[in-house]
Amino acid sequence: MRKNIVAGNWKMNTTLAEGVGLAKDVNEALKGIDAKCDVVICVPFTHLASVAGVIDSSKLGLGAENCADHVKGAYTGEVSAPMVASTGAGYVILGHSERRQYYGETSEILKTKVNLALAENLTPIFCIGEVLEERENGTFLDVVTKQIEEALFDLSAEDFGKLILAYEPVWAIGTGKTATAEQAEEMHAHIRSVIAGKYGNEVAENCSILYGGSCKPSNAKEIFSKPDVDGGLIGGAALDCASFMGIVTAF
């Protein structure tokens, strides 16, 4: 059975002290509740080791927001999957639209990153999603199909089964404009059918597909109630412990 998951993406926010404080707050808040989903925070590279030291990893997962497309060597400023894994992190966001858009990450690069992450037993949270123009011109289902096929369909069924997918319509990220629950469900059901076409129903049914894009406590319950939505990847609202917990407890 697939898991329900709420994952925070802190992006390039918080100093080390602020980030450790926020992680401690989320960790503390989780102690007081019986969460009905897995909870993960994906934090800046600089914070990983320190955050790993203050959270209970049995209740709160830790991830990076990216990793390099090489294992080691002369790649100044890059951080590799083995380095991420060595901090105690278990997850890594890959293919976020901000990485695709601002840092030129192509499906080819992402394919390499996914393989390197899996080799370190990191769970990729792999992001896909269309831009506004593609939503408006009606090509959004095809765009997302292509993103999945190009970056992920060389994986074995076993490796594909280790991924978490996150559908993040780019027009909804950080804009306050959320996809309706119906729009999310349409895409999530489509993604599941694309997976089923390649790997079969069992792999498709077991794949957790998260929604991301201006998700907040006020809309999470409705979005998460859809049968193919298995949780959320949360940006802005993950930077405030009460808001993030408001989304966690939407399950």
Residue with tokens 């978490």: 164
Stretch that binds ligand PEP, among 67-75, 117-125, 128-136, 209-217 (CB under 6 A): 209-217
Work out which of 94, 215, 220, 247 binds ligand PEP, going by CB under 6 A: 215
Cα-Cα-Cα-Cα torsion 19, 113, 156, 146, nearest 10 degrees, comes to 100
Residue 70 among the catalytic residues: no
81 lines the binding site for ligand PEP (CB under 6 A) = no
63 lines the binding site for ligand PEP (CB under 6 A) = no
124 lines the binding site for ligand PEP (CB under 6 A) = no
**What x-and-dash track marks residues 154-173 binding ligand PEP by CB under 6 A?**
--------------x----x
Residue 98 among the catalytic residues: no
Q: Give the separation between CA 88 and CA 40, rounded to whole angstroms.
A: 13
Nearest to 163 by CA among 134, 139, 191: 191
Q: Report which DSSP code applies to 70.
A: S
Instruction: Output 113 or 199, the one with its CB closest to ligand PEP.
Output: 113
Please state the length of the chain. 251
212 lines the binding site for ligand PEP (CB under 6 A) = yes
Work out which of 63, 90, 95, 213 binds ligand PEP, going by CB under 6 A: 213
Q: Give the separation between CA 23 and CA 199, rounded to whole angstroms.
A: 37
Work out which of 174, 182, 201, 202 binds ligand PEP, going by CB under 6 A: 174
Q: Give the separation between CA 191 and CA 193, rounded to whole angstroms.
A: 5
Q: How far is the CB of 216 from ligand PEP (least distance, A)?
A: 8
Q: How far is the CB of 198 from ligand PEP (least distance, A)?
A: 25
CB 130 within 8 A of CB 169: yes
Helices within the chain (DSSP H only): 16-31, 48-52, 81-86, 97-102, 107-119, 132-136, 140-152, 157-160, 181-199, 201-206, 217-224, 241-248
Q: Is 231 helix (H, G, I), strand (E, B) or coil?
A: strand
Instruction: Output 124 or 235, the one with its CB closest to ligand PEP.
Output: 235
Residue of 65, 120, 130, 168 marked catalytic: 168
Instruction: Output 23 or 239, the one with its CB closest to ligand PEP.
Output: 239
44 lines the binding site for ligand PEP (CB under 6 A) = no
The set of catalytic residues is: 96, 168
Site residues for ligand PEP per CB under 6 A: 9, 168, 173-174, 212-215, 233-237
